[in-house]
């Protein structure tokens, strides 16, 4: 195979950049010796991934439609491992107690991963029977998962059939990258690529069509799509829920919006063939 001087120098520079990263981070972000890696959606027939747009509570309780989706998604798995890396460290104990109360209303018990570090934390992920990844700062969440080596282990468990549920920031990292998050980049990340267990890039907290900030959000997402022509963006409203299960994507509760190229429309509740087609591709 002939390699041009420009290609050789580019590849050498990329590999050199990757070599300066910590080992776990380098392994996560490299593929075939290049940095960053290529297309980043992975799935399996066993993968069960649920994402919500955030603000899933009202009047101190989880919204009824979200509670119904939780019961469907988790089934008989009642012990949930919380991943609260998107919260500021000082808030994680409080967030854990709040989520424990909310989930406890439906018979779920929770414990948060932030109580463990290093190999002990990786072991908790490997042994978990279900996950819930909460909201907060998306860039902090992704960076922590990368730096700890937890991202790849979490992906492996989801592909092996452990249910994943992510809200807001947890929704953002389910997609191939965090390109359409609403969050400020409060910390640096080596790449926007994330878990890649849901086929579309997500935009949580998407306004409803009757809200005054709807047109502004649509315009921003359309600009993103014009600049990232190969990507599909899924806009997910507050308390809206989308689920990938057994290779099929359904809208459990709206509003949910589809963007690709110049196309933009609201998805109906029920099967979402536009998104299932991405899984089958």
Higher-confidence residue: 234 or 18? Answer: 234
Domains: count for the chain: 2
User: Does residue 2 fall inside a structural domain?
Assistant: no
177 and 132 in one domain? yes
Distance in angstroms (rounded) separating the CA atoms of residues 50 and 171: 8
Per-residue pLDDT at 41 exceeds 80: yes
Whether the pLDDT of residue 31 is over 60: the answer is no
- pLDDT tens by residue, 187-197: 999 999 999 99
Residues 103 and 31 in one domain: no
- Residue 152 falls in the annotated catalytic set: no
Residues 157 and 21 in one domain: no
The residue assigned the tokens 């109360």 is: 101
Q: What average pLDDT does range 152-177 have in this prediction?
A: 98
Q: Which domain holds residue 123?
A: 42-280
Residue 73 or residue 19, greater confidence: 73
- In this prediction, residues 191-217 reach a mean pLDDT of 97
- The reported pLDDT for the residue numbered 261 is 93
* Whole-number pLDDT of residue 34: 34
For the ranges 11-20, 40-49, 116-125, 264-273, the lowest mean pLDDT is seen at: 11-20
Q: Do 77 and 189 fall into the same domain?
A: yes
> Do 239 and 173 fall within a single domain?
yes
* 184/53 same-domain check: yes
Shared domain for 238 and 102, answered yes or no, is: yes
232-236, strands of its sheet edge to edge: 201-204, 232-236, 256-260, 263-267
CATH number of the domain that 133 lies in? 3.40.50.880
Residues 110, 169, single domain; the answer is yes
Query: What pLDDT does residue 196 have?
Result: 96
Average pLDDT for residues 242-253, to the nearest whole number?
97
245: in domain? yes
For residue 39, name the pLDDT band (cuts at 50, 70, 90): confident
Which of 2-6, 23-27, 85-89, 146-150 has the least mean pLDDT? 2-6
The residues, any chain, with a CB within 8 Å of residue 225's CB and separated by 6 or more, are 231, 233, 259, 260, 261, 262
Distance CA 1, CA 280 (A): 32
Active site residue 112: no
* 265 and 128 within one domain: yes
Residues 48/130/36/192 CA torsion (nearest 10 deg):
90
* Nearest C-alpha neighbor of 51 from the set 110, 138, 150: 138
List, for residues 47-79, the tens digit of each pLDDT value.
999 999 999 999 999 999 999 999 999 999 999
For 46, half-sphere exposure in the C-beta direction (CA atoms, 13 angstrom radius) is 8
Q: Which of 48, 85, 183, 253 is catalytic?
A: 183
- 205 noted as active-site residue: yes
* Mean pLDDT to the nearest integer, 22-40: 49
- The mean pLDDT of 82-110, rounded to a whole number, is 97
pLDDT number for residue 22: 54
Q: Is the pLDDT of residue 21 over 70?
A: no
Is the pLDDT score of 234 beyond 70? Answer: yes
> Are 31 and 82 in the same domain?
no
Mean pLDDT of the chain: 89
Share of the chain above pLDDT 90, in %: 85
pLDDT at residue 128 is higher than 60: yes
Are 144 and 92 spatial neighbours (Cβ–Cβ below 8 Å)?
Answer: no
From the candidates 168, 194, 206, 253, which is the catalytic residue? 168
Return the axis-axis angle of helices 118-127 and 150-159, rounded to nearest 10°.
10
- At residue 178, does pLDDT exceed 80? yes
Q: 8 or 110, which is more confident?
A: 110
């Amino acid at each position: 195979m002939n390699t041009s001087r420009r290609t050789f120098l580019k590849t050498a520079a990329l590999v050199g950049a990757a070599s300066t990263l910590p080992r776990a981070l380098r392994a996560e972000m490299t593929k075939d010796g290049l940095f960053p890696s290529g297309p980043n959606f992975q799935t399996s027939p066993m993968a069960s991934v649920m994402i919500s747009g955030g603000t899933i509570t009202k009047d101190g309780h989880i919204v009824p439609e979200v509670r119904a989706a939780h019961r469907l998604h988790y089934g008989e798995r009642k012990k949930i491992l919380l991943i609260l890396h998107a919260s500021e460290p000082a808030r994680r104990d409080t967030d854990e107690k709040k989520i424990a109360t909310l989930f406890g209303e439906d018979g779920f018990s929770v414990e948060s991963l932030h109580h463990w570090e290093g190999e002990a934390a990786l072991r908790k992920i490997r042994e978990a029977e279900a996950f819930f990844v909460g909201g907060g700062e998306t860039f902090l969440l992704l960076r922590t998962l990368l730096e700890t080596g937890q991202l790849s282990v979490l992906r492996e468990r989801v592909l092996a059939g452990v249910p994943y549920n992510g809200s807001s920031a947890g929704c953002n990292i389910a997609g191939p990258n965090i390109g359409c998050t609403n969050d400020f980049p409060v910390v640096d990340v080596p790449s926007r690529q994330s878990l890649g267990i849901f086929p579309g890039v997500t935009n949580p907290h998407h306004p409803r069509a009757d809200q005054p900030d709807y047109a502004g959000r649509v315009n921003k997402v359309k600009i993103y799509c014009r600049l990232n022509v190969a990507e599909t963006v899924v806009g997910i409203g507050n308390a809206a829920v989308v689920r990938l299960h057994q290779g099929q994507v359904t809208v459990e509760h709206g509003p949910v919006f589809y963007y690709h190229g110049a196309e933009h429309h609201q998805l109906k509740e029920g099967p979402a063939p536009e998104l299932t087609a991405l899984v089958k591709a």
